Amino acid sequence: MAHYSNSDLFLVTPLVYGVVGAMRKFLDLPRRLPGWNRALNWIWVPGAALFLAAQALDLKTTTLGDVYWLLSLGMIMAVLLALRDYRPARSLLLAMAPFVVYKLVEYVLETPEGKIPKQYDAALDTTQGFVIIWLITFIFIARSQKKQLEKERVLREEEEKAKRLIEAQNAQLEHLVAERTAALTNQAEELRAALTELKTTQAQLIQSEKMASLGELTAGIAHEIQNPLNFVNNFAEVSAELVTELEEEREKPDRDLELEADLLADLKQNLQKIHQHGGRAASIVRGMLEHSRQSSGERVPTDLNQLADEYLRLAYHGLRAKDKTFNATLKPDFDPSLPPVEVIAQDLGRVLLNLLTNAFYAVKKRQEQGEPGYAPTVSVSTKRVGSDVEIRVRDNGTGMPESVQAKIFQPFFTTKPTGEGTGLGLSLSYDIVTQGHGGTLAVESREGEGTEFIISLPA
C-alpha cells in the first residue's frame, strides 16, 4: 500500500502545493475567498517544517507524509465547504470525500512500521481503485459544470449589456421626441400659414419618406449573417479544443494513434464547416447590399419572371438563414411569353420580397401548429391578362379572416406579434403598386386555408 517516509515528504510538499495551486485557479479563490487564498500560499510550510524536524531530530516514524497529506486534505475540504454554494466546488467536495475517508482508514490501519496488515491489503487495493475512479469522474463533472457556468455568465453579461443599451436608446428617443414635440408646438402657428402649400406636396413627401424607411428596414435584413457567423465562431472554438487535445495526446508516452486520427478527422470537418458558413455569410452580404441600394426611380423594361424568381429564392433563403429546420415547397409558374414590362425594378422587388416573406411566415406558423400531413407551399405565377400583367403570390398558410383583410393595407396594421412586424410593409407595397406603377394590389384569403395576393400592372 502507498505510504510516505521522511524522504517522501520532500517530494510530497511540492506535489501538494501544485494540487492546491490548481484548485485555487480552478475555483477562482483570489476573487471568491481571498482570505483562504492567502492562507493557501503557505501550504508548503507545514510540510517543510515536518521535513526539517524529522531531519534534525532523526525521527524514525514513517507517518509524517500521511500526517501532512491529511492536514492538506483537511484544508482543501474546508475550502470546498466554504464554497459549497458553488456547483463545481460541491462536485469537488463529493470527489474528495471518499479519498479523504480512504486516507484516514489507511492511516488508522497502518502499523508503526508504516505497513498495512495483510488481511486488509486486498480490500484497500479495491477501495483505492474505486476512490481514484470516483475522484477523476467528479473532477471531469466539476470541469464541465464550470464551463457551463462560464457560458451562462457570459450570456447574462451580454443580456445585461443589451438591456442597458436598449434603455439608453429609449431614453435618448424619449428625449428626442420631447424636443421634437416642443419644436413642433412652437412652429404650429408658422405651419398653419404654409398648410395650403404643403398639401400639394404632401403625397409625394409621404411616399418618399416611406420608401426611405423601407430601404432602411430592408438593409437591416443583413442581421441574418449572424447565423453563419455564429457557426464559424462555434466551430473555431471546438477546433481549438481539438488541437489542445491532440497536443496533449502527442505528449503522452503511450500515444493512442486511433484517437489522434479521430481528432484530426474532426478538425478537418470543422474547418470545412467554417469555410462553408463563411461563404454563406459573404453571399448574404452581397445580396443585401444589392437589395438595399437606393432606387433610381426610373422605369426600365424588366423581365418579371426573372424578378419574381429571384425574390422567391431570396425570401426563402432569408428565412432559412434564421431557421435551418424550416423547409417549404416552392412552386414558380411563369408565363414564358410574358413581354418585358416597364417598372421600377428595385421598388417592385421590395413589394415581392414583402409579400413572399409574409407568405413564408404564414406557412411556418401553420406548420408549427403540428397539423398532420401539412406541407408548407408557396407559389408565384405570372400571366398576361388583356392589357395587364398579373403576378400572384399564394401560400397555404394560416389565412386571414375578413375583418383582417379589410385592414391589411392600412399603415401600421399588422397581424404579427409585437416586435416581429412594423405594419408598414403591405401599406408601402400598396402605395408602390398603385401610386408608383398605376396598378392594383388585391388580397384573397380564407382562414385556415391560405392567402393569395394579386398584383396587376399595366403592360
In a domain, 345, yes or no: yes
- 315 shares its domain with 435: yes
In a domain, 312, yes or no: yes
Q: Which three cell numbers stand for residue 105?
A: 482508514
pLDDT at residue 97 in the model: 77
- 273 shares its domain with 417: no
- 259 shares its domain with 111: no
Q: What total of structural domains would you count in the chain? A: 3
In a domain, 161, yes or no: no
In a domain, 222, yes or no: yes
In a domain, 166, yes or no: no
- 114 shares its domain with 229: no
Mean pLDDT, 10 residues at a time, the chain of 459 residues = 46 74 81 81 76 65 64 80 81 78 74 66 77 82 82 86 87 85 79 69 49 42 62 81 82 79 82 80 60 65 88 80 83 91 85 88 89 92 91 92 81 63 70 88 90 91
Q: What is the pTM of this model?
A: 0.42
The range of the structural domain enclosing residue 408 comes to 300-458
- 36 shares its domain with 135: yes
In a domain, 167, yes or no: no
Map residue 443 onto helix, strand or coil: strand
pLDDT at residue 454 in the model: 93
- Provide DSSP, 59-96: ---S-HHHHHHHHHHHHHHHHHHHTTTSHHHHHHHHHH
pLDDT at residue 56 in the model: 67
Distance spanning both ends of the chain, measured CA to CA: 96
CATH of the domain at 333: 3.30.565.10
- 54 shares its domain with 80: yes
By the 10 Å C-beta count (0-12 exposed, 13-18 middle, 19+ buried), 400 is classed as buried
- 243 shares its domain with 351: no
pLDDT at residue 275 in the model: 82
- 305 shares its domain with 452: yes
How many other C-beta atoms can be found within 10 angstroms of the C-beta atom of residue 459?
Answer: 16
In a domain, 180, yes or no: no
Of 232, 263, 291, which marks where a domain is finished? 291
- 305 shares its domain with 449: yes
Residues 23, 37 contacting (CB under 8 angstroms): no
- 277 shares its domain with 358: no
- 244 shares its domain with 309: no
pLDDT at residue 113 in the model: 61
